Structure 1
């Protein structure tokens, strides 16, 4: 049984079933999940049936595709309804978004659609490149759900929101303390309960971030090939940061931390759009699909998306689904190379096109990347594009590069390219084997010396690096390739080329920020205990200070001290750990690392942004 075959289960349902177990059964829950995963599964309409044994079946009823109540999971064993099987099935299934209780009306003159953004700290376009446990787990593609709104008397957090924020922080702290290795179904259920409480209290941003963490932890524990430790670390940082800041926030800062489930779509008249490229979506919250990027005559970008709960199969199949705008019969794959004429258009602040009843759209001619109006996207100076992305704008880069061949780094192979004299490292946008990203990157490495226009997504770091999304065809000037959806063949390469073996990338002379980043990531994987070992990290603090990163050295020392801080009672027994102190120390280190990496990224790309270290 694959978890992808199970219907999504609402967080509150999983939490209820796990909390109803006896302490003895909770201790056996993770083993029960593993055992259930080996059992056969049959889907019959809205019902999924699992054969627990030869005489017992477990059924999940998902009207509308989502399990929304504990009664919808039924087991035929003698211990039901208090059996282990129901909780194990809910814990193994993908996490669905809660169905909130009330709706927030849109302002007059605006349409209101479910928010496609609201990931922590983002005022930018959606990031479809996220995968399970990854890019930065993004709430950009949360499923359609009515909004929830709790309006406090003053512009301050309400008592319910304060309680919910504390619950989220405590539950996420417990997950961090245990690490992915120790965060079994019981800790996951506690975080899902906190997410449900946050959504009911009117904190959709905290709720979505908490769900992303649970999904990432599950991906780590089941060895999902798309799992990436750095992006789960980003998800934990985001949920802890939101929950930590919210109690002391007010005004616009509080509104940002609360987040939204619905966002306004304002009328934008008639639009003439030209397809740029399409990319698959595979998010940390268990959603998949495709997004097509288009541009108008002025170079403004718009997106058309088809994202719903699903796995890699939906990500590859969505490209051939019809675009859901007006009466057009274009698929996403076709729109990426054609165009649209839209009347009565509605657009979100992030540039997402609405699909309201009054919107009309018909197919129109497209444009080459080298022709107007798309050519202007590549005429924007690279440093200006990077500066805009680091300032919170769109993180897409439109670059002209010369391919230099593959290089091998500690994190894997990448494609080295020259971009206006900079050594740019291009990496695959997705690692999942069902998507062709990595195979296409390997084949492009054979086109050494080719000068191509590409579309990439900025990856902040001390060296110029980006996720490769689309490129001109290596041997046909009139074609382009969506590298997450189209699959290159050897016949597509220039004549006489062969895929070279990766060279070893030269070691760059850079600030040793990796010493702190490594500890941040190790904690996510192994929990507090990996830092509490005697001698762990000895010498790293002084080395950071010698390199001029005094704050980093202090943060690393505090992280180690918080990990080792365990008191004993009068009988010599260990007292419960102070997970709050450890979580705050880790959060400060994670925030500092991210900010310094952005500053170093700005310097590497020559944006002119001053490289300063943040104060904490």
Structure 2
């Protein structure tokens, strides 16, 4: 059974089906999911049928593309409706966007951000606090996320995932769509980790878990605009932006752990502002590679994403989201226009911005793209694989693949570019925060054809495209970095293996002292508390282990994770020569 064939299932449906299982069936749920994955699946329109065995069939009804009710999953076995098969199918399917059945308990972020009406006290916005339903939902999300952290991704089976999905549904009903979305992203990350999905990255799961725990922890103390930010909005608003003249920059494939795939094309206007045109829908690697040849969903234009990345677009009646995504409403009109080379105006001005300013903007919450002029210098080996080494204004930058899925050509293209040592190229990359200059390579000038460019996630370079190397391989510069990894490694280990991997008596002993000796006293204290919280298991008068203090471990891990992230951003700013104060004030 391929997950791509299963329709997305709403979080509330999965939680409901798991909750009605008996304790005996809950213990067998993960094994049931594995067995169901080996069964044949047939999809006919909005109906998906799974042959559980020769006589029993499971049916999922997904009108509108998603399963939104528990009775839309039907099974023909004797234990139905409270059978293992229905819960297993829901737990194996992608998570659908959950839509609340009732209006939010509090105003949305858009309403909360409006200026006070005439005659209203100006302090109303700053003193508004969370509603009781929102406080209860935040506690539920925090408790469920702490349970996932306690077990780690390795031990967070379908039952723990369902508990977090139920909490996410409760948060959405209470008017906390941002908290709900963060909780769902944790479930998706855990599922990707447990299934060895090529799209899984442990740092992403760490960030997702830190985000959901942090928001649930902050919400009871938040008021006014801080509370509005934590609540978030169900949809990003699109605002009119008049007429736009856009120039294609590059396209990149999208392949997520949530079961969505497609392509995003980046464009820029004459002033250097970036806009995106996306085509993302449920699907797998095939959709990610094929979406580039689909027509963009803007007006009546027949341009494909691949063509738009090298051409231009004239848009009238444009609508734009706060993140720069172009809307495709009925009133939007678009026609093909001429493009521009990266070395010509107006795109050339993107590379004219000092790299330090670009990094500061990315660390401050910007789009994260870097426009770099680099000289290729071969490869450098790291613990997580080989990296393309490049010189950028005298700074050694390590360029990595943007996605590890073998269906995408990122890795093959990076390997071929490494052979073009000495070649100077313009590239587009995405910043990776860390103590060394690192970025994910997205697009580059063609190494043999001046003026042409390559979308490294969609186009495939050939050996014949590469010039002969004109310089010997450069040695990687010596690395003298602060040992922040002693803390961040434990933070990551906890997410992967849970509390137990940090609870061993000799696990990381002495690391906190080493951090203090190099001046990272706070990191040493946080690591010491994290290890102490992991090992804290009291016993009763009969010597039996008492329940672990999940809250203490979650608070210790959250503090360590937030600190490691902030220090990592500061070290990243220093590594690229960016102004740390500018980064701090722009966030």
TM > 0.5: yes
Counterpart of 1:596 in structure 2 is 567
Counterparts in 2 of 1:503 and 1:52: CA distance versus 1, 3 Å: farther
Q: Are 1:548 and 2:486 an aligned pair? A: no
Matches within 5 A, 1:98-497: 98-101=98-101, 155-494=128-467, 496=468
Give a deviation string over 1:175-206, Cα, whole Å, max 9, x none. Answer: 00000111011000000000111111111111
Counterpart of 1:58 in structure 2 is 58
Q: How far 1:548 moved relative to its partner? A: 0.5
Match of 2:537 among 566, 570, 592: 566
C-alpha separation between the residues in 2 aligned to 1:566 and 1:396?
A: 46
Q: How far 1:610 moved relative to its partner? A: 5.6
C-alpha separation between the residues in 2 aligned to 1:449 and 1:316?
A: 31
Check whether the contact 2:444–2:456 (CA below 8 A) recurs between aligned residues: yes
Q: How far 1:540 moved relative to its partner? A: 0.2
Q: Secondary structure at the match of 2:580?
A: coil
Give a deviation string over 1:356-376, Cα, whole Å, max 9, x none. Answer: 111111000100000111011
Counterparts in 2 of 1:550 and 1:396: CA distance versus 1, 3 Å: same
Q: Are 1:95 and 2:68 an aligned pair? A: no
C-alpha separation between the residues in 1 aligned to 2:577 and 2:391?
A: 15
Give a deviation string over 1:238-270, Cα, whole Å, max 9, x none. Answer: 111111111110111111111111222221111
Check whether the contact 1:340–1:361 (CA below 8 A) recurs between aligned residues: yes
Give a deviation string over 1:101-144, Cα, whole Å, max 9, x none. Answer: 3579xx9xxxx9xxxxxxxxxxxxxxxxxxxxxxxxxxxxxxxx
Q: How far 1:436 moved relative to its partner? A: 0.9
C-alpha separation between the residues in 1 aligned to 2:6 and 2:338?
A: 41
C-alpha separation between the residues in 2 aligned to 1:505 and 1:83?
A: 58
Check whether the contact 1:281–1:291 (CA below 8 A) recurs between aligned residues: yes
Counterparts in 2 of 1:259 and 1:473: CA distance versus 1, 3 Å: same
Check whether the contact 1:595–1:613 (CA below 8 A) recurs between aligned residues: no
Q: How far 1:499 moved relative to its partner? A: 13
Q: How many residues are paired up?
A: 568
Match of 2:501 among 510, 521, 530: 530
More helix by share: 2
Q: Secondary structure at the match of 1:585?
A: helix
Q: How far 1:3 moved relative to its partner? A: 1.8
Check whether the contact 2:125–2:225 (CA below 8 A) recurs between aligned residues: no
Counterparts in 2 of 1:541 and 1:154: CA distance versus 1, 3 Å: closer
Counterpart of 2:487 in structure 1 is 516
Give a deviation string over 1:58-83, Cα, whole Å, max 9, x none. Answer: 11111121111111111111111111
Check whether the contact 2:47–2:62 (CA below 8 A) recurs between aligned residues: yes
TM-score, scaled relative to structure 1: 0.89
C-alpha separation between the residues in 1 aligned to 2:73 and 2:474?
A: 53
Give a deviation string over 1:408-432, Cα, whole Å, max 9, x none. Answer: 1111111000000000000000011
C-alpha separation between the residues in 2 aligned to 1:506 and 1:214?
A: 39
Check whether the contact 1:266–1:347 (CA below 8 A) recurs between aligned residues: yes
Q: Secondary structure at the match of 1:567?
A: coil
Counterpart of 2:118 in structure 1 is none
Counterpart of 1:143 in structure 2 is none
Q: How far 1:313 moved relative to its partner? A: 2.0
Measured on the aligned residues, the alpha-carbon RMSD in Å equals 2.2
C-alpha separation between the residues in 1 aligned to 2:321 and 2:219?
A: 25
Q: How far 1:283 moved relative to its partner? A: 2.7
Give a deviation string over 1:469-506, Cα, whole Å, max 9, x none. Answer: 10001100121011111111112111x45999x99856
C-alpha separation between the residues in 1 aligned to 2:182 and 2:286?
A: 24
Q: How far 1:608 moved relative to its partner? A: 3.1
Give a deviation string over 1:316-346, Cα, whole Å, max 9, x none. Answer: 1211111111111111111100001111111
Counterparts in 2 of 1:71 and 1:273: CA distance versus 1, 3 Å: same
Check whether the contact 2:342–2:451 (CA below 8 A) recurs between aligned residues: no
TM-score, scaled relative to structure 2: 0.93
Check whether the contact 2:134–2:176 (CA below 8 A) recurs between aligned residues: yes
Q: Are 1:539 and 2:492 an aligned pair? A: no
Check whether the contact 1:446–1:498 (CA below 8 A) recurs between aligned residues: no
User: What residue ranges of structure 2 are gaps of 5+ in the alignment?
Assistant: 111-123
C-alpha separation between the residues in 2 aligned to 1:556 and 1:611?
A: 29
Q: Secondary structure at the match of 1:59?
A: strand
Counterpart of 1:70 in structure 2 is 70
Q: How far 1:609 moved relative to its partner? A: 2.2
Counterpart of 1:19 in structure 2 is 19
Check whether the contact 1:596–1:613 (CA below 8 A) recurs between aligned residues: no
Q: How far 1:154 moved relative to its partner? A: 6.7
Counterpart of 1:121 in structure 2 is none
C-alpha separation between the residues in 2 aligned to 1:564 and 1:550?
A: 21
Counterparts in 2 of 1:438 and 1:63: CA distance versus 1, 3 Å: same
